[in-house]
Structure 1
Amino acid sequence: FPNGTLVIENVERMSDEATYTCVAKNSQGYTAKGTLEVQVMVPPHIMPFEIEESIYYGESVQMTCHASKGDRPMSITWTFEGRDLSTNMGIKTMKMAEQTSFLTIASVTGAHSGNYTCIAKNRAGEDRYTTSLHVKVPPRWILEPTDKAFAQGSDAKV
């Protein structure tokens, strides 16, 4: 552009990350020079992950969230049903290196059923991946049956 602006569209690390020098010259022949460094930041990209379909009450579950792309520093966090994880639910998270995080539940219950989201963030952006956990729980009595006695010939309702 005539005003000295350099526009780089669809920036790529391999081709555009470099040192750039701008030289300005006026009608009297004077020049001024400025140098700048352009760094191209890559946002995180989470590899998709799934949970087994048949998870039964009392079993353990582990989810692995891995960001295969993205510049450091990077943070990885988890949410359950859109909210920060509650520590009293028996859910533990552990970060392995900067691009991988594990979520572990030692003994699942029906309360653990729902959507788990892994969020990877860095200065260039963020990525999210959500998967669902469906815990199969045994049936339970809402009102436990009790023995009843009825007079012969009467109507019985249980």
Structure 2
Amino acid sequence: MVQAVNPRGRSPRSPSGHPHVRRPRSRSRDSGDENEPIQERFFRPHFLQAPGDLTVQEGKLCRMDCKVSGLPTPDLSWQLDGKPVRPDSAHKMLVRENGVHSLIIEPVTSRDAGIYTCIATNRAGQNSFSLELVVAAKEAHKPPVFIEKLQNTGVADGYPVRLECRVSGVPPPQIFWKKENESLTYSTDRVSMHQDSHGYICLLIQGATKEDAGWYTVSAKNEAGIVSCTARLDVYTQWHQQPQSTKPKKVRPSASRYAALSDQGLDIKAAFQPEASPSHLTLNTGLVESEDL
């Protein structure tokens, strides 16, 4: 029989006659040992949202939005053609609560055109995306000008009428109508406003009434200015002419013609009397034809 002996004593026997062997306990992670190293996990930046190429008109606002993930939270920086973009009054870099980063440029100038690169960096590495910003030249503004102005118009009661004009301007102007001091803001079944891409403007009134009469003003407005013109619409009542009588009119010869015919021997005055008949006409002998007849 074999017994295990150590300074603390003998080990108890097992039912099978073999001694118990104590195995060292494994140290748990929560043992609180300060000497045990804690391994951190890092994730390289990854863009969840990134814009594509942009075209913006000069003088307008440009906004580039992106969203990035990573652990620890990545730091973002912007470059234009390889040079850092510095924040200033026209270039702002914002971060919203939902984690969206924005580069805002206002107003955009021709110097802002180029290749933009956004770089996200943390302890695990970095990631980036690029886009091209094209700045369209600002269109030269031209104030509105009437090519054809409104004309004073009259129409019979119950008939349709148009008030028409043509206007040009860059950019195309907005059109406003007024009757006296009241604005016409929307079309109805009877009164409608029309405008096409060639500058033609029309106010159409179906079945004009006396209430439609008055002064009408059309105004054209854009970023470069405003212009107006005014015209009068008169609505008059129709009147019907009486049918002309079919009774023949009496025609009386002139005094000179009486004299010329009487000299030839004709009793002309008797012929124009109501009771006159062919038997009253007498012919003197020696009648000579005359060019006065």
Instruction: For residues 9-47 of structure 1, give each alpha carbon's deviation from its aligned partner in whole angstroms, at most 9, with x where no partner exists.
Output: xxxxxxxxxx6xxxxxxxxxxxxxx84433321110113
Q: Is the 8 A contact 1:77 1:119 kept in 2?
A: yes
Q: Secondary structure at the match of 1:111?
A: helix
1:1-158 map, 5 Å: 35-51=36-52, 53-67=54-68, 69-87=69-87, 90-97=90-97, 99-138=99-138
Aligned-residue RMSD, C-alpha = 2.7
In the alignment, structure 2 segments of 5+ residues that lack a partner are 1-28, 30-34, 141-293
Deviation at 1:91, TM superposition (A): 1.3
Contact 1:48/1:129 (<8 A) preserved: no
Secondary structure at the counterpart of residue 71 of structure 2? coil
Query: How many Å separate the matches in 2 of 1:126 and 1:99?
Result: 17
2: CA distance between counterparts of 1:99 and 1:129?
17
User: Which residue identity lines up with residue 94 of structure 2 in the other structure?
Assistant: M
Asked whether the 8 Å contact 1:78–1:119 carries over to 2, the reply is: yes
Moved more, 96-105 or 55-64: 96-105
Does the C-alpha gap of structure 1 residues 85 and 110 become closer, same or farther in structure 2, counting only changes over 3 Å? same
Q: Distance in 2 between matches of 1:91 and 1:107?
A: 9
SS of aligned partner of 1:47: strand
TM-score of the aligned structures, taking structure 2 as reference length: 0.33
CA distance in 2, matches of 1:90, 1:125: 31
Equivalent position of 1:15 in the other structure:
none
Taking structure 1 as reference, are residues 73 and 87 closer, same or farther at Cα in structure 2, changes over 3 Å only?
closer
Contact 2:75 2:122 (C-alpha < 8 Å) held by counterparts: yes
TM-score when scaled to structure 1? 0.57
Of all paired residues, the percent bearing the same amino acid is 23
- The whole-number CA distance in structure 2 between the counterparts of 1:89 and 1:116 is 19
Kept in 2, the 8 Å contact 1:57–1:110? The answer is yes
Counterpart CA distance in 2 for 1:93 and 1:51 is: 18
Q: Which is further off, 105-114 or 39-48?
A: 39-48
1:52–1:131 distance in 2 versus 1, CA, 3 Å: closer
CA shift in 2, pair 1:79/1:89, >3 Å: farther
Displacement of 1:120: 0.9
In the alignment, which residue of structure 1 is the partner of 2:177?
Answer: none
Change (3 A) 1:116 1:54: closer
Q: Give yes or no for contact 1:76–1:100 (8 Å, CA) kept in 2.
A: no
Greater relative contact order (CA < 8 Å, ≥ 6 in sequence):
1
1:117 deviates by: 1.1
Q: Work out the CA distance in 1 between the residues paired with 2:76 and 2:100.
A: 7
The total of aligned residue pairs comes to 107
